[in-house]
Amino acid sequence: MALLPLLHYPDPRLRTVAKPVSEITDDIRQLAADMAETMYDAPGVGLAATQVDRHLRLIVVDVSEEQTDLLVLINPEILSASAETKPHEEGCLSVPGIYDTVIRPDHIRVRAQNLEGEWFEIDADGLLSVCIQHEIDHLNGKVFVDTLSRLKQSRIQAKLLKQKRGKKSPEAERESHPAAHDF
């Protein structure tokens, strides 16, 4: 198994619409196992293949405290969503350190294939519902911050840029911003 590098917002590859998984091969089984390891390591409660630059309709989710209830959803589809909506605080491993409220349907019914290729259906509410909707959004090229105001989005981009710069060595920082260090 392996930890996979994550794409970070505003990387344009996060906008790719993922293609259906046509056959469950060893590569798909390996990808699901590596995604689960990456999600647990982060730590997170979900991960979409899009976030590891694999543009296939595959997500992993585990909202249990003990990390014992892994769900692998291949070609997931929302069959129905409740009219009742609820606000929920969301985070994203591709938008590190940013949390904000998103309003979504409270209850959903989802259909997906498992790693054996069998179709199954689940009813989800609470964090599981929020997480599955968030991950399916990733497969459709959407990121949770897209629902926030333009002002919030530009503040988030500025904060992430600052975080990224802070992680660079002083030499790399001088190379990318020579003027700021010339005086």
Binding site for Zn ion (CB under 5 A): 92
CA atoms of 15 and 17, how far apart (whole Å): 6
Return the number of the residue (71 or 92) whose C-beta is nearest Zn ion: 92
Of 65, 66, 84, 135, the catalytic one is 135
Helices then strands, counting H and E runs in the chain, come out as: 5, 7
Q: Kindly report the number of other CB atoms within 10 A of residue 48's CB atom.
A: 30
Q: Name the site residues for ligand K1U (rule: CB under 6 A).
A: 43-48, 90-94, 130-131, 134-135
- In the complex, the smallest distance separating the C-beta of residue 115 from ligand K1U, rounded to whole angstroms, is 20
- In the complex, the smallest distance separating the C-beta of residue 172 from ligand K1U, rounded to whole angstroms, is 26
Question: 47 is in the binding site of which of ligand K1U, Zn ion, none (Cβ under 5 to 8 A by kind)?
Answer: ligand K1U
Is 135 a known active-site residue? Answer: yes
Which helix (H) or strand (E) element contains residue 10? none
CA atoms of 173 and 176, how far apart (whole Å): 5
- In the complex, the smallest distance separating the C-beta of residue 136 from Zn ion, rounded to whole angstroms, is 11
CA atoms of 51 and 19, how far apart (whole Å): 14
User: What residues are labeled active site?
Assistant: 135
